[in-house]
Amino acid sequence: MGGTPVTRLLGSFSLAALLLLSSCGMGGGGGGGGSSLPSTPFTPPASSNVSVATTTKANDIAVDPSNNVWVVVTHGVMEIPKDATSCATSTECPIVTLGFTPAGIAADGSGSIWVTNETGNSVTEIPSGTSSCNSSSTCPTFGPGYFSSPVGIAADGSGSTSTIWVTNTSSDEVTEIKLPATSCSSSCNTFSGSSHFSSPVGIVADGSGNIWVTNETGNSVTEIPSTATSNCSSCTTYTGFSNPVAVAVVTSGGVPWVANSSQGSVYSPGVVAMTSSCSSSGGCPEITGFTQPVGLAFDSSLNLWVIDAGTSKAVEITASAISAESCKHDPCYQYSLPAGPLGIATDKLGNIWITLQNGEIVKYTP
CA angle 246, 82, 126 (to 5 degrees): 65
Domain 4-364 has CATH 2.120.10.30: yes
- Rounded CA-CA distance 352/38 in Å is 10
Contact 356, 307 (CB under 8 A): no
Q: What percentage of residues in the chain have a pLDDT greater than 70?
A: 90
Q: Where are the domains of the chain?
A: 4-364
- Quote the mean pLDDT of the chain: 88
Residue 305 has pLDDT above 50, yes or no: yes
- Rounded CA-CA distance 130/140 in Å is 12
DSSP, collapsed to helix, strand or coil, labels residue 20 as helix
Beta bridge partners of 173: 168, 192
Q: Count how many residues are written for the chain.
A: 366
pLDDT tens for residues 313-323? 999 999 999 98
CA distances for 96 relative to 74, 77, 78, 100, 188, angstroms: 10, 5, 6, 11, 25
Question: What percent of the residues of the chain are helix, what percent strand, and what percent coil, each to the nearest 5?
Answer: 5, 40, 55
Better-scored residue on pLDDT, 5 or 339: 339
- Rounded CA-CA distance 209/158 in Å is 12
Beta bridge partners of 288: 270
Per-residue confidence (pLDDT) for residue 57, from 0 to 100: 77
Residue 84 has pLDDT above 60, yes or no: yes
- Rounded CA-CA distance 34/356 in Å is 17
Q: Closest Cα partner for 353 from 26, 83, 94, 42?
A: 42
Stretch (H or E) spanning 345: strand 341-346
Per-residue confidence (pLDDT) for residue 34, from 0 to 100: 55
pTM comes to 0.89
Residue type, 56: T
First to last CA, the chain: 7
pLDDT tens for residues 166-179? 999 999 999 999 99
Per-residue confidence (pLDDT) for residue 32, from 0 to 100: 39
Q: Closest Cα partner for 59 from 335, 365, 361?
A: 361
